[in-house]
Amino acid sequence: MTDSSILQLKNRATQCAKYLLDSTSVLCISHIDADGLTSAAIATQAIKRANIPVTTAFSKRLGEPELRQLTKTDYDTILFTDFGSGQIEKIIQYGEKGNFTPIICDHHQPSITPSDSPPSEFNSDFHLNPLLFGINGASELSGAGTCYFLARALESGEVDNRDLAALAIVGAVGDMQAREEGLIGPNKNIAQEGAEKGVLNIKPDLSFYGKQTRPLPKLLEYSSEFGIPGISNDSSGAIRFLKNLNIESRGNGKWKTWVELSHSDQKTILSSLVTYSISRGLPPEKINSFIAPVYELEKEIIGTELREATEFSTILNATARYGRPDVGLSICFGDRDKSLSRAKNLLAVHRRNLAEGIGLFNREGVVMEDNFQWFHAQDKIRDTIVGIVAGMVLGMDGTDPNKPIFAFAQTDEGDLKVSSRGNLSLVKKGLNLSEIMRLSAQYVGGEGGGHDIAAGATIPLKTEKLFLEQIKTILEAQLSNPS
């Protein structure tokens, strides 16, 4: 990424903004994960502030049936956020049929680019995607971040959209773009703008999930990604560890949360965790990752699910992935009453389903191939969360962290959802899951795409065998010829 890349992205955002400003009515349609919700919230608020009528809708996929429905609407402009780049050809075709101008604001890998398509079939002015300018859409800019660039381009007069940086960071964190060193590239720049605007607080802190709301024993017990022997996934071990410390870990008859502790007690826990982990042989890189940049939303109350970007993104996932994206969108718009209460109930369901999904994996395990691994959840894991489960189990006992994982689940529509997850090490060796999912899905009559490190597909029932054969062939070629 270079300064020139950022300038080109800003210029493209300005071009897209001009089309929006000339519109009489806009439909914003977005994906249903945390990044999709925040993308829609950022774009919708920016369009409203520009005094343009806008309606927001959501879809978990963007296939022929969904695009066909859009031709029946009366909007002269349809804005696709957090998806669309992988369906450019079809979007252009249906835009002509429906007489609407499509604008794509996405960060997933495009199916075509201006270089391999004649101008009559591809108007690059409509397409805002960091990948077109050498910016990594899997690690440097999320869908929400891309929409933030569009929001800044829509500013005029006294309108200042920098407050939307907080939602952009929630989207980036929810899309797993915060590494051990924190956000990088344009994501980092957006976070800095949010801090300057007073909507974000960026600080080094314990990187365990749940510091705002989880009781201390649960905070430690659920630190499965760190694999601390005798603490992670060990309820009694976590409690025993805390009781051996000279800190005030309880108050009003219950365990405190991390944010309720004094700074001194936090330092005691952290130093003790480090000493303990060294004594149990935890690798230095794991121990170093205990501390990482944390992104807090300054306008939210300390100790709530919305104060920290990681927990905020989880509660958004718990709405859209269970058929209530409207609830998540209302939270992004500022509703802290009915919508937040509903979201908390959905969050409880979400956590229970994730636990059951991991339990299913622990019972049945994965099928291990030469260069990848896979499992089939049938209808026992919701297709909207099977990718989350795949990401959570990759690296757990029974899986190989050096092989990408593919997970199947049946959908309510009667086909199969396939989710894939890899890691940075595999990507450096040549792994591109977006290409694998797109080509393998096309081979069996489905469609797919995403990022090099994580991607998804929808394929017909009973095509798993052919699909897996294609994965094997394409993966062998990728890993033998790294770019």
CA distance 44 to 147: 10
pLDDT at 119: 40
In the chain, how many H helices and how many E strands?
A: 18, 15
pLDDT at 184 over 70: yes
- Beta strand segments in 271-404, E: 291-297, 367-368, 373-376
201-210, 342-351, 395-404, range with the lowest pLDDT:
395-404
> Region 155-162: what's the mean pLDDT?
95
As a whole number of angstroms, the distance between CA 461 and CA 149 comes to 39
Residue 382 pLDDT greater than 60, yes or no: yes
Residue 184 lies in a domain: no
Residue 197, domain member (yes or no): no
pLDDT band at 98 (very low <50, low <70, confident <90, very high): confident
Mean pLDDT of 142-151: 98
Q: Would you say residue 430 has pLDDT above 70? A: yes
User: 289 and 419 in one domain?
Assistant: no
- Per the listing, tokens 């519109």 go with 23
- Classify 92 as helix, strand or coil: helix
Q: 317: closest CA among 368, 291, 351?
A: 351
Residues spanned by the domain of 465? 365-480
Q: Which residue among 354, 382, 399 closes a domain?
A: 354
Same domain, 383 and 244: no
Check pLDDT > 70 for residue 250: yes
Cβ pair 445, 463 in contact under 8 A = yes
Domains identified in the chain, total number: 3
- For residue range 2-48, list pLDDT tens digits in order: 789 999 999 999 999 999 999 999 999 999 999 999 999 999 999 99
Is 444 within the bounds of a domain? yes
Residues 6+ apart with CB under 8 A from 348: none
Co-location of 247 and 273 in the same domain:
yes
Which uninterrupted H or E stretch holds 470?
Answer: helix 464-480
Pairing of strands 250-251, 254-255: antiparallel
Answer yes or no: do 27 and 150 share one domain.
yes
Helix (H) or strand (E) holding 132: none
Q: Is 373 left (phi over 0), alpha (psi -120 to 50) or beta?
A: beta
Nearest to 171 by CA among 233, 97, 107, 264: 107
Q: What pLDDT score does 389 carry?
A: 93
Q: What's the confidence (pLDDT) of residue 482?
A: 57
Instruction: For residue 466, count CB atoms less than 10 angstroms from its CB and return exposed for 0-12, middle for 13-18, buried for 19 or more.
Output: middle
Residues 127 and 85 sit within 8 Å (Cβ to Cβ)? yes
Q: 261 with 350, same domain?
A: yes
Tell me what pLDDT residue 67 has.
93
- Average pLDDT of 251-262? 95
What residues form DSSP beta bridges with 470?
Answer: none
Q: Can you tell me whether residue 404 is helix, strand or coil?
A: coil
Residues 6+ apart with CB under 8 A from 331: 306, 315, 316, 319, 339, 340, 343
- Whole-number Cα distances in Å, 260 to 84, 212, 222, 450: 43, 8, 18, 39
Residue 45 counted as domain residue? yes
Q: Are 335 and 379 contained in the same domain?
A: no
Res 120: pLDDT: 37
Would you say residue 68 has pLDDT above 90? Answer: yes
> Residue 118's pLDDT is what?
42
Average pLDDT of the segment spanning 317-334: 94
Question: Is residue 64 within 8 Å of residue 89, measured between CB atoms?
Answer: no
Residue that finishes a domain, picked among 330, 354, 378? 354
Q: For residues 69 and 65, what is the distance between their CA atoms, to the nearest angstrom? A: 6
Nearest C-alpha neighbor of 209 from the set 324, 358, 360, 351: 351
Q: How confident is the model at residue 425 (pLDDT cuts 50, 70, 90)?
A: confident
Q: Position of tokens 């005691």?
A: 268
The domain that contains 400 carries what CATH number?
3.10.310.40
373 and 347 together in one domain: no
Q: CA 5, CA 326: separation in Å to the nearest integer?
A: 34
Sort residue 26 into left (φ over 0), alpha (ψ -120 to 50) or beta. Answer: beta
Whether 121 is in a domain gets the answer yes
User: Are both 284 and 417 inside the same structural domain?
Assistant: no
d(CA 165, CA 186): 11
Res 121: pLDDT = 43
Element (H, E) at 450: strand 447-450
Residues 350 and 369 in one domain: no
- Both tokens assigned to 171: 């989207």
397 has pLDDT over 90:
no
Domain for residue 192, yes or no? no
Closest CA to 126 of 20, 208, 231, 204: 20
Concatenated DSSP letters of 409-471: EE-TTSSEEEEEE--HHHHHTT--HHHHHHHHHHHTT-EEEE-SSEEEEEE-TT-HHHHHHHH
Mean pLDDT for the chain?
93
Q: Residues 113-145: pLDDT tens digits?
A: 555 544 434 457 899 999 999 999 999 999 999
CATH code for the domain in which residue 90 is found:
3.90.1640.30
Q: Are 335 and 344 in contact (CB under 8 A)?
A: no
Pairing of the two strands 373-376 and 405-410? parallel
Structural domain contains residue 173: no
Q: Mark whether 256 and 375 lie in a shared domain.
A: no
Question: Could you tell me if 130 and 224 lie in one domain?
Answer: no
**Encoding tokens for residue 253?**
């008859």
First-last CA distance in the chain: 17
User: Is residue 375 domain-shared with residue 450, that is, in the same domain?
Assistant: yes
- 124: its two tokens: 């690059």
Last residue of a domain, one of 354, 378, 404: 354
Residue 359, domain member (yes or no): no
